[in-house]
Amino acid sequence: NFEPRRGAAVPTYHASATAPLLYLPVRGGGDDPVVAWLADLDRVTDHAPGSKLSQNDLREWMRGHPGHRSFSVLRHPLARAHSVFCHRILSIGEGSYAGIRTTLKKRYHLPLPDDPSDAAYDVVAHRACFAAFLGFLKSNLAGQTAVRVDPDWASQLKTVEGFAEFVLPDRLMRQETMTHELAELAAAVGIVDAPALSDAKPDDPFGLHEIYDSEIESLARAAYGRD
């Protein structure tokens, strides 16, 4: 395993302003519905729950919230990789990685379109491009490329190991069951009227279900075997 170690990215953690809940996110491209859920829990509409905190700030929050619970959400590695691909690599809009996108096209020969909204970029082209990205991820996570291992596509194993340098999550949830698990977690700290969890925005321009096959599965397993 040659993937670089990841430290505790404390400024990315989200501390509830009203409840003893601390969310440790595993990044993966796109909007995170759990952050919005925490904001709804805090009745906040104009900004996210406490984030960009220093380690000292977060320790102070912990002391001020005895019995706090920390939690994180794990996602299927293939679904996560596809979301990252659509939001960070394929997209040319806000939040995309323009520099890495150019490198992947020129140096690693990913058949990325200049404009993903072009009608010529169909589902067949999307599958071929995503398959090439999965091949790149295998090499990238093995330390065989000059491109950084970005937190958005670093293995979830390394991310969780990084949590442990500051605080271990009390609960690890799976994305497909987090709706009722978040309600259970809220109830465990005395919140009986927890808000509903909003749906995440779908991947654009094509969903994973439109391109999934055994080859895509094999490529994802090769890249994320430990996840």
Q: Does 47 have pLDDT greater than 60? A: no
C-alpha distances (whole Å) from 170 to each of 49, 97, 113, 157, 183 are 19, 33, 43, 16, 15
Q: Which residues contact 66 (CB under 8 A, 6 or more apart)?
A: 20
Cβ pair 51, 14 in contact under 8 A:
yes
Closest by CA to 78, choosing from 29, 33, 111, is: 29
First vs last C-alpha separation in the chain: 12
pLDDT on residue 51:
76
Q: What are the backbone angles phi and psi of residue 74, rounded to the nearest 5°?
A: -95, 150
**pTM > 0.85:** yes
Q: From the CA atom positions of the chain, what is the Rg in Å? A: 19
Tens of pLDDT along 169-224? Answer: 999 999 999 999 999 999 999 998 899 999 888 999 999 999 999 999 999 999 99
Tell me the C-alpha distance between 47 and 44, whole Å: 6
In tens, the pLDDT along 135-165 reads 999 999 999 999 999 999 999 999 999 999 9
| Nearest alpha carbon to residue 13 among 21, 3, 4 | 21
